[in-house]
C-alpha cells in the first residue's frame, strides 16, 4: 500500500528489522534501516522520488557504472534531541555539493525539491531508526551512479539516485598516527579531487595500506606536483594548530570543500581563535614540531566530526604531538555537536528540523 509525504510516494516495508538491532552497540555504517529513497533518470529527466523497502539493486553487466565509474555520493547525519525531534545539519550544502560533483562527472544534476522532499519523506518513515543514545545518529548516504548500459566510453543515458541510511554509534577513532605521503597523490590539478567521486576513495586505499604496514592509521596527502604542501588527512580535511593559530589549506581542484571544515572555520572565528586559510608546507610542520609550536593536528569530516592526530611520520622520523587539556579540537567538536543535537543556540542557522 502506497501513501504520500512531501509529494513523495511511500511503499512501506511489510516487516521491520529494527527489533533485531542493538542500538547500544552500533558500529559505523554496517546496519541498514528498513527503507530507502529511489529516483531514476531516464529519457532526459529525473522521475519523482519514491520511498521503497530497502532492497538489492539489479543491474545489467553492461551498466556503465561498472566500466567508466560515474559514481558520486554524500555523507550526512540525522540527530534526535532529548525531546525526540529530528534534526539535520546544513543539508542544502550536501545537495549543492552533490550537484557540483555531478556536473564534474557529466551526471545530470538533481533538483533541490527531489533531494530535500525525498530526504524528509524518508526520515519521516524511518524516524524510529534515528538513535537517541548519546553520540549516536542516523548516517545518511545519498548517491548517484550510472545505470544506463553500454561499453562505449561516454556518459550514460540513465542514472539512479538513492538515499540509504544506517544507524551508527559514536565514532571513536582513538589516537591516530599519520604518515605524510611522499609518492602517491590523492588528486591532481584539473582532476576530480573536489568532487565526492567514488574513484577518489578507491585510489586512496593502496597508499593507506602501505602506511598501515609501517604502523600508521592514515595518510596525510600532499600536493601532486611537489609533495611539499599538506592537503587532506585520509578522507578528511586537515587542520593544524601552530601556536594559537588554526591553519587549513584552501580548497581547490584537489581538495574537497568539506561542510565540517567550513563550520569549524566559522565557529573558530566566533570563538576568537585566529584562523588562516593558506598553504601549509611539510617543512613548516616539521619545524613547528621540532621547536614545540605545533600544538594540534586533526581531521575534520561528517563521520567523526573531528579526529585528533597524535603524531606523524616523515622521512623515516616520527613526531609526537602534545596532549592538551583544553584543545581547540575538543572545543570545536563540542560547539558543532551541541548545534547538531539541539543542545545549544544555533546562531549560524545551520540546524534543519525534519517534520514528523
Burial class (CB in 10 A: 0-12, 13-18, 19+), 291: exposed
3-class SS at 162? strand
Find the radius of gyration of the CA atoms of the chain: 21
- How much is the pLDDT for 2? 67
β-pairing, 35-42 vs 45-46, is antiparallel
Q: What is the pTM of this model?
A: 0.96
The closest of 241, 250, 257, 258 to 330, measured between CA atoms, is 241
- How much is the pLDDT for 29? 87
CA 194/CA 105 separation, integer angstroms: 11
| Element (DSSP H or E) covering residue 68 | helix 65-68
Name the segment(s) of the chain with CATH classification 3.30.470.10. 2-168
Beta bridge pairs of residue 160:
40, 145
Name the segment(s) of the chain with CATH classification 3.20.10.10. 176-340
> What is the number of alpha carbons within 13 Å of residue 298 lying toward its C-beta?
26
Superfamily for the 176-340 domain: D-amino Acid Aminotransferase, subunit A, domain 2 (3.20.10.10)
CA 157/CA 42 separation, integer angstroms: 7
| Element (DSSP H or E) covering residue 138 | strand 137-146
pLDDT along the chain (356 residues), means of 10: 76 97 91 98 97 98 98 98 97 98 98 97 98 94 98 98 95 83 95 96 97 97 96 96 98 96 98 98 98 97 94 97 95 98 98 94
- How much is the pLDDT for 171? 74
Domain 2-168 sits in CATH at 3.30.470.10
CB neighbour list of residue 341: distance below 8 Å, 6 or more residues apart: 79, 80, 81, 87
Amino acid at each position: 500500500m502506497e501513501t504520500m509525504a512531501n509529494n513523495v510516494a511511500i511503499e512501506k516495508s511489510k516487516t521491520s528489522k529494527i527489533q533485531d538491532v542493538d542500538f547500544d552497540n552500533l558500529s559505523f555504517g554496517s546496519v541498514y534501516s528498513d527503507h530507502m529513497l529511489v529516483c531514476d533518470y531516464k529519457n532526459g529527466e529525473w522521475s519523482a522520488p519514491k520511498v521503497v523497502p530497502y532492497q538489492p539493486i539489479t543491474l545489467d553487466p553492461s551498466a556503465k557504472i561498472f566500466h567508466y565509474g560515474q559514481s558520486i555520493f554524500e555523507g550526512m547525519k540525522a540527530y534526535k534531541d532529548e525531546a525526540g525531534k529530528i534534526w539535520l545539519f546544513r543539508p542544502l550544502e550536501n545537495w549543492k555539493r552533490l550537484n557540483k560533483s555531478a556536473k564534474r562527472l557529466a551526471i545530470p544534476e538533481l533538483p533541490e525539491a527531489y533531494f530535500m522532499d525525498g530526504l524528509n519523506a524518508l526520515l519521516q518513515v524511518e524516524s524510529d531508526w534515528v538513535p537517541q543514545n548519546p553520540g549516536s545518529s542516523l548516517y545518511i548516504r545519498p548517491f548517484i551512479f550510472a545505470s544506463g548500459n553500454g561499453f562505449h566510453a561516454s556518459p550514460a543515458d540513465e542514472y539512479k539516485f538513492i538515499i540509504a541510511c544506517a544507524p551508527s554509534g559514536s565514532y571513536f577513532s582513538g589516537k591516530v598516527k599519520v604518515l605524510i605521503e611522499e609518492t602517491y597523490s590523492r588528486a591532481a590539478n584539473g582532476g576530480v579531487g573536489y568532487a565526492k567521486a567514488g574513484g577518489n576513495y578507491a585510489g586512496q586505499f593502496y597508499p593507506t595500506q602501505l602506511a598501515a604496514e609501517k604502523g600508521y592509521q592514515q595518510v596525510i596527502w600532499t600536493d601532486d606536483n611537489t609533495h611539499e604542501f599538506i592537503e587532506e588527512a585520509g578522507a578528511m580535511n586537515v587542520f593544524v594548530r601552530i601556536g594559537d593559530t588554526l591553519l587549513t589549506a584552501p580548497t581547490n581542484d584537489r581538495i574537497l570543500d568539506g561542510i565540517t571544515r567550513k563550520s569549524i572555520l566559522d565557529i573558530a572565528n566566533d570563538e576568537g581563535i585566529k584562523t588562516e586559510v593558506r598553504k601549509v608546507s611539510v617543512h613548516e610542520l616539521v619545524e613547528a614540531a621540532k621547536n614545540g609550536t605545533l600544538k594540534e593536528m586533526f581531521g575534520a569530516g561528517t563521520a567523526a566530526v573531528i579526529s585528533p592526530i597524535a603524531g606523524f611520520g616523515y622521512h623515516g622520523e616520527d613526531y609526537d604531538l602534545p596532549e592538551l587539556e583544553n584543545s581547540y579540537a575538543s572545543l570545536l567538536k563540542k560547539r558543532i555537536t551541541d548545534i547538531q543535537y539541539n543542545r545549544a543556540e544555533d546562531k549560524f542557522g545551520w540546524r534543519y528540523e525534519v517534520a514528523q
